[in-house]
Amino acid sequence: MPTYTLKINGKSHTVEADSDTPLLWILRDHIELLGTKYGCGIGQCGACTVHVNGNASRSCSLLVSQLQGMEITTIEGLSEEGDHPVQKAWIEHDVPQCGYCQSGQIMSAAVLLKNNPNPSDKDIDAAMNGNICRCGTYVRIKQAIKTASKL
Amino acid sequence: MTKVRTQYNRRSFIKISAAAGGGMLIGFSWLTGCTSDPKIEKVEIPNEWYEINGYIKIGDTGLVTIYSPNPEIGQNVRTSMPMIVAEELDVDWKNVVVEQAPLNTGFYQNQFAGGSLSIRLSWNALRMAGATGRRMLLEAAAKEWEISISDLIVAQGVIKEKNGERTITYGEIASKAVDIEVPEEIELKEISEFNLIGTSKKNVDGYKIVTGKPLYGLDFKRDGMQLAVIQHPPAFGMKVKNFNEEEIKGMDGIKDAFIIDTTIEDPDWNDEKGFLQLIAIVGDSTWQLMKAKRAINANWETVSELENSEMHLKKLEDAFASGTVGANRKDGDPDAAFDKASKIIERTYSSPFLPHNTMEPMNFFANVTDNSAELIGPTQMPEPTEKSVSKLLNIPLENITVNMTRMGGGFGRRLYVHYALEAAAISKKIGAPVKLIYTREDDMSQGTYRPAYQSRYKAGLDENNNLVAFSVRGTGLPEGSVFPNRFPAGTIDNYLAESIGVETNVTTGAWRAPRSHFTAGAEQSFLDEVAEAAGKDPIDFRLELFDRAINNPVGEKHDYEAERYAGVLKLVKEKSNWGETKQGVYRGVAAYFCHSSYVAEVVDIVLLNGQPKIKKVWCAVDCGIVVNKDAAENMIQGGVIDGIGHAMYSQLTFNNGAVNEMNFDRYQLIRHSQAPEDIEVFFVKNDIAPTGLGEPGLPPAVGALANALYQATGQRLTRQPFANHIKEKVLLG
């Protein structure tokens, strides 16, 4: 099996895996970063969203062999103390119900705010539409993104 | 204070204390601080813990552990159940940490998540657990100071002498309280004395969730644990004969492949009825298992009819004429009243099968040995899991443990226990601990679906536009969606309700607010149409019916309290400024009673580029005492979005027994841009013990949506999903 060296949350990790292994399973099975969630495996639900070179990306649809040299950030690496403005706003609005999709929602929202510090409702819808929340916390997510934009 | 007799004796507390003390170290920390902010200064970690009772453990530093007995599916009982204990214990919430209690049916009652029952069924037990602890701590302090317990007061975990200077904290006296006899009679607070219940406390798992800590079944790991996937037959009505076992076993990373059988004797309602024989593949990499799954080449045999969606529709239609009537009610003479009516309104409503689609797919950990089994994972039903695993493995119940992880959603799906049995069967076969993982495709195509329904409503108005006759006949696969004694039963002289079941081999079960979600949509949009035909405002029309139920009810009984039903309608009328018209804003209203709670909702829609967009939803809720206010609002908001989303966009269809929608590329769930812009929730204030909250917010949203869409488009939408049936030209016109 080939080996790959990935830069995740600022640290270098060498893993042995099939070349077609999605980043999602490298994170979950090989590196035990379990905050990135499996939801659909086909890039439709957003539960597995991570940052690759600063872009919100679906880790279930990126292959380990394509990622060498890229900067990968997961929910565990978004902030040291769990105090990224988006995380703080999520707690302030007590957004989660079951909570399973929320790390993906937070990773998408963090990129949105980095690129567009004052998003309109339409901007939020456009950036967040790939992240499904089955519990229906959409209204709170929108409020939390607006709060985070002021933090 | 109210004096009540406790439900416990010393023995039962000791029993649960032993269970709570051990067996809980299952791989990651279960201890959850009640403040989500890590910067808030916390009480030091105790050196010694003292078990006060099965719900409460107090540390020598004053830190208090409260065990949350029920499974957490996102309904937030891990916060609200301990809040009730903490209220009666009288402890500072900042000093509380929460742990998931182990399954112990000998002590905790009703350790399940379903029917919106967690708080409702445990309200008294949780209050008594807290009050018992408070009493024991007070007695210990009284004994220490050699004074009477009536000379003491307590607040926020500090006991004070009424007429003196002495104070002692719970942490300081806890070691002595463990020797106090469990009181047979205790005092509960008056509702007016509550200072924690009714406030808003953050989700105790909030910080862990937003920082991605492992919490869910799918995150569980144990050294030496294998991973497994299953493959079920491609269609309902099929069974596996054999498969390319040797080829699969030879694939990279695959350790074993075989067929499991999870058939058990005397299956209960929450045991699997469909796919009992499955192909299982074991390995240590999820991705390699998924690749092996795709390489399966199996022979399947057809064992019963392969159904499809057209056939389902026809079966439901035919059943109106030929089906066997189950639950029913008849008041007066509906046939004669319809004959005499001057106006008749008739409509048929339908909805498709729906999968639950919890975001965390089904999974479970099992470690089966010759005479024991350890099960860990996401289940709404730990006790039936234990029982069914015991039957499957022929291992006595006392040698089986089930521990609950936080769940990535439930919605009724995890009331069904088959995936735990499948994990147990695989662990037994390989003789090692294993975690079974469903793919999304497995999850969506091996479901325990919301049944498909059709209901026919008929109403007769007299020449003065009074509703004089009403009938509803509901067919469903496999059961009709009719509640014979719910509204409008009791309000109409001539009334008929009949439920008709139709057989199917598609596996079905409880789906958030079972039957209520469909009935509310159908009945409440039908009544909207009847009100219009009668020339009456839809809220006034309903209030008139409730007046009848209050003043001169028809028949022997009905299931609802008409005053409370009318109460939520009046509240939503006031809060939404019902009657006020705004250019381009279309409104619909609905009210429904289920799970012992009453909810009325108003939906406002605008048309943007010809497409409906929900601007705002107002909700008025009577669920008795609200425990955790902001979290309760969250539940109602989620219910509204769940109801609107599924009624508008979702359906599962079948072809030759196989599910057509296997993943979120073809199956549509509501997304951000389709959600209401705002949802405002108002609770009726009263002193009634809490009733259901997780489900009742959903059903009225379906009716209010349909009624608002009618105002916007002129179309009565009767077939779900509505989005498939809104005529394009109507919207563009």
Provide, as residue numbers in chain B, all residues whose Cβ is less than 8 Å from the Cβ of A140: 634, 637
In the 8-state DSSP scheme, what is residue B724?
Answer: G
Answer whether residue B9 shows pLDDT above 50: no
CB B497 within 8 A of CB B471: yes
Q: Which domain holds residue B235?
A: 217-303+362-437
CA atoms within 13 A on the CB side of B730: 14
Q: Among B391, B409, B437, identify where a domain stops.
A: B437
* Inside any domain, residue B577: yes
Nearest chain A residue to B680 by CA distance is: A139
Alpha helices in B281-358 (DSSP H): 286-294, 309-322, 334-340
Domain residues of chain A, as ranges?
A: 3-77, 85-148
Q: Both B203 and B221 in a single domain? A: no
Nearest chain A residue to B285 by CA distance is: A29
Q: Cα(A31)–Cα(A21) distance, rounded to whole angstroms?
A: 13
Tokens (6 digits) for B383: 């006790």
* Inside any domain, residue B310: no
Q: What is the pLDDT of residues B327-351, one digit of tens each?
A: 899 999 999 999 999 999 999 999 9
Query: Torsion angle, CA of A31/A33/A34/A39, rounded to 10 degrees?
Result: -80
- Mutating which of B35, B287, B407, B641 best tests the A interface, going by the most A Cβ atoms within 10 A? B287
- Mutating which of B204, B208, B210, B628 best tests the A interface, going by the most A Cβ atoms within 10 A? B210
pLDDT, chain B, mean: 93
Kindly indicate the confidence band of residue B7, based on its pLDDT and cuts at 50, 70 and 90. Answer: low
Answer whether residue B68 shows pLDDT above 50: yes
Q: What is the pLDDT of residues B216-230, one digit of tens each?
A: 999 999 999 999 999
Q: Residue B397: name the closest of B11, B106, B41, B60 by CA.
A: B106
- CATH says A85-148 is which class? mainly alpha
Residue B290: what residue type?
A: M
Of B75, B409, B631, the CB nearest to A100: B409
Residue A11 CB-density burial (10 A; 0-12 exposed, 13-18 middle, 19+ buried): exposed
Q: Both B181 and B274 in a single domain? A: no
Other C-beta atoms within 10 Å of B210: how many?
31
Q: Which CATH superfamily is domain A3-77 in?
A: Beta-grasp domain (3.10.20.30)
At residue B330, φ and ψ (nearest 5 deg) are: -140, 125
* Inside any domain, residue B314: no
Q: Among B210, B244, B261, identify where a domain stops.
A: B210
Q: Residue B619: name the closest of B527, B563, B559, B684 by CA.
A: B684
CB B150 within 8 A of CB B69: no
Provide, as residue numbers in chain A, all residues whose Cβ is less than 8 Å from the Cβ of B410: 98
Residue B24: the pLDDT is: 29
The domain that contains B286 carries what CATH number?
3.30.365.10
Other C-beta atoms within 10 Å of B175: how many?
14
Predicted ipTM of the assembly: 0.99
Cβ–Cβ contact A58 with B under 8 A: no
The CA radius of gyration of chain B, in Å to the nearest whole number, is 28
Q: Cα(B279)–Cα(B259) distance, rounded to whole angstroms?
A: 4
Q: What is the pLDDT of residues B539-552, one digit of tens each?
A: 999 999 999 999 99
Residue B13: the pLDDT is: 43
Residue B5: the pLDDT is: 61
Mean pLDDT of B186-197: 95
CA distances from B83 to B45, B47, B72, B384, B681 (A): 21, 24, 15, 27, 21
Other C-beta atoms within 10 Å of B611: how many?
12
B89 φψ region: left (φ > 0), alpha (ψ -120 to 50), beta (else): alpha
Q: What is the pLDDT of residues B572-599, one digit of tens each?
A: 999 999 999 999 999 999 999 999 999 9
Provide, as residue numbers in chain A, all residues whose Cβ is less than 8 Å from the Cβ of B357: 134
Mean pLDDT of A109-138: 98
Provide, as residue numbers in chain B, all residues whose Cβ is less than 8 Å from the Cβ of A100: 216, 358-360, 408-409
Cβ-based contacts under 8 A for chains A and B = 191
